[in-house]
Amino acid sequence: MPYNLKGRNVLVTGGSRGLGALVARKLAAEECNVAINYISSVERAEKTARSIHDDFHVQTFVVQGDVGVHADCVNMVRKTIEALGGLDVIVSNAAWTKFTAFGDLYAMIEEDWDKVCPQSPLSFLMHTVDFGLDMWYGIVLGGKC
């Protein structure tokens, strides 16, 4: 059965720029309201949210939080529900990336792996799986962990 996106409330982690911003725009074009998560640049997140609102006339909301921190994950879900009146879809996109030379097995040091895995797209699911949402339609982007 096709899933109708119209009027759905969507949280896009790392939605302020890059692939997350693109996905947020595509969802807004389908008449979804979008919550844009970011970690450090509120200006960029607000710019993205404003442009989506102006172009598609949907509700937008900006929420700070680190997807590698349990309390932040729970907080951003809670704030999104408060701001949009509910949450239907989470696009777990945010992650830290280190680009290295292909084939260089030693380019990633231990600290890099420690940073990558807690922020993997799957980690957000783990952090909020107990949140008690009635429905969960998770789209996991990226290819790590």
Of the two residues 2 and 103, which places its CB atom closer to ligand NAP in the complex? 103
Q: Is 68 in the site for ligand NAP (CB under 6 A)?
A: yes
- Pick out residues in 2-41 that bind ligand NAP (CB under 6 A): 13-14, 16-20, 37-41
Q: How far apart are CA 94 and CA 101, in angstroms?
A: 22
Q: Is 49 in the site for ligand NAP (CB under 6 A)?
A: no
Distance of alpha carbon 139 from alpha carbon 91, whole angstroms = 5
123 makes contact with ligand NAP (CB under 6 A): no
Residue 86 or 142: the one with the smaller Cβ distance to ligand NAP is 142
Contacts of 89 (CB under 8 A, 6+ apart): 5, 8, 9, 10, 11, 27, 32, 137, 138, 139
CB of 7 to ligand NAP, least distance (A): 25
Smallest distance, Å, CB 124 to ligand NAP? 9
DSSP 48-62: HHHHHHHHH---EEE
Decide: is 94 part of the binding site for ligand NAP (CB under 6 A). yes
Shortest distance, position 83 Cβ to ligand NAP, whole Å: 17
78-114 burial: b if 16+ Cβ within 10 Å, else e: ebbbebbeebbbbbbbbbbeeeeeeeeeeeeeeeeee
Q: Which residues bind ligand NAP (CB under 6 A)?
A: 13-14, 16-20, 37-41, 44, 65-68, 93-97, 119, 121, 141-144
